[in-house]
Amino acid sequence: MIIKPRVKNFICTTAHPDGCRQNVYEQIQYVKSQPQTKTKKRTLVIGCSTGYGLSSRICAAWGDDAPTIGVCFERPASGNRTATAGWYNTAAFEEFAKEDGIYAKTICGDAYSKEIKDETAKLISQDLGQIDLLVYSLAAPRRQMPDGTVYTSVLKTVDETFTSKSLDLGKNILTEKTVEPATPEEVEATVRVMGGEDWKDWVKALKEKGLLSENFRTVAYSYIGPEMTYPIYNDGTIGQAKKDLYNTAVEMEKEGVSAYVSVNKAVVTQSSSAIPVVPLYMSILYKVMKEKGLHEDTIQQMSRLWNGGLIEGEPKTDIPGRIRLDDWEMRPDVQGEVQEYWDKLTDENLKEYADIDGYWEEFYHLFGFSFDHVDYEADTEAEREIPSISK
């Protein structure tokens, strides 16, 4: 079939297998061009198929020459429907890993479930013996508990209504968004889905089976952002979950587990596109950081993390267990210009002060579109196998 992007409600409902392969290829080439650690830390990545999770797995495999096991929840192609981008990314990852003689296997299923934890533990025991690093990069909208209870996360404020300018991604014009406060039940649900409970469950489940090495460490990813997004992010329901994530790292550290939370830079993801205010902020941020030569995408961020003490030595932290990869984003000169541009924005000067084209390019890249060297007019086989899943 000839695959074109179809965007609906901030989500692209199609993905291009060759474009996703190109995305993975380019990230691998970047990591190969950077310093290598080569400690072969046996790595498990929870949420391995897109965004920071995918880039983490690439850094482990090609930056550290590490065997990796990935866990993701993706859908293969079916009939006239393409597979998800994460499925194609993972298929490409395993293809390139095999070519370079790097161990890579993937488990597809609900990472919150005991069944997937048990299946992963069995694979670790059989193939790797133990793991040295667990990366927790799960981004899911809901979580089903063992008793059948389902928690669904929400993008809301806490306590007060919040109104701010935003970006209408469908029309590329400024608009105003109002976000209502969450109920206590919605806050709790968001924390249960996006907080640290499942991260700790993974570590506990593997530790009880003796699958963590003596020098084991784990990292999860977070975001803080600038004050202009605090009501909807840092102080909102997501922020409450991220604070729980950090508190979980502190708890695990007290229990003898080396645990970190890495606060990363704002990047375009499927979930961030749905958060009011955030796409507009990121479009301005991209403009400013590119002008200053400071812009990083996910693979550049993760490469900096891998080479900044996560694998060898100790990473630099601002408070115990918290790494700040958003340090360039939060520089006073960067945030000062972002605020200046924010205040000047109108529909007429939107492209002067915001990198709308850059935002959309990264959005389409998530789904395998807008890459050079890919013929999007050619017939393409939508069905692609992930070898370790298809066996």
Q: According to the annotation, is 51 in a ligand binding site?
A: yes
| Residue whose structure tokens are 């404020």 | 157
Instruction: Answer whether 324's CB lies under 8 Å from 225's CB.
Output: no
Which two tokens mark 299? 């693979």
Q: According to the annotation, is 249 in a ligand binding site?
A: no
Q: According to the annotation, is 49 in a ligand binding site?
A: yes
Q: According to the annotation, is 139 in a ligand binding site?
A: yes
Active site residue 221: no
Q: According to the annotation, is 391 in a ligand binding site?
A: no
Q: According to the annotation, is 47 in a ligand binding site?
A: yes
Instruction: Answer whether 53's CB lies under 8 Å from 45's CB.
Output: yes
| Residue whose structure tokens are 């000047």 | 344
Q: According to the annotation, is 242 in a ligand binding site?
A: yes
Catalytic residue among 112, 233, 246, 286: 233
CA dist., res. 66 & res. 48, Å (int): 14
Q: Residue 205: name the closest of 293, 306, 117, 284 by CA.
A: 117
Q: According to the annotation, is 216 in a ligand binding site?
A: no
Which two tokens mark 198? 């499942």
Instruction: Answer whether 237's CB lies under 8 Å from 166's CB.
Output: no
- Rounded to the nearest 10 degrees, how much is the dihedral formed by the CA atoms of 322, 328, 333, 334? -110
Q: According to the annotation, is 50 in a ligand binding site?
A: yes
- Pair type for strands 322-324 and 258-263: parallel
Cα angle value 126/313/327 (rounded, 5°): 110
**What pairs with residue 142 in β-bridges?**
152
Neighbours of 159 (CB within 10 A): 11
Residue burial 8-25, b: 16+ Cβ < 10 Å; e: rest: eeeebebbbbbbbbbbbb
**DSSP structure string for 290-340:** HHTT----HHHHHHHHIIIIISSS----SBTTEEETTTTTT-HHHHHHHHH
Q: According to the annotation, is 73 in a ligand binding site?
A: yes
Q: According to the annotation, is 138 in a ligand binding site?
A: yes
Q: According to the annotation, is 283 in a ligand binding site?
A: no
Known binding-site residues equal 47-52, 73-74, 110-111, 138-139, 223, 242, 267-269
Known binding-site residues for substrate equal 223
Residues catalogued as catalytic: 233
Known binding-site residues for NAD(+) equal 47-52, 73-74, 110-111, 138-139, 242, 267-269
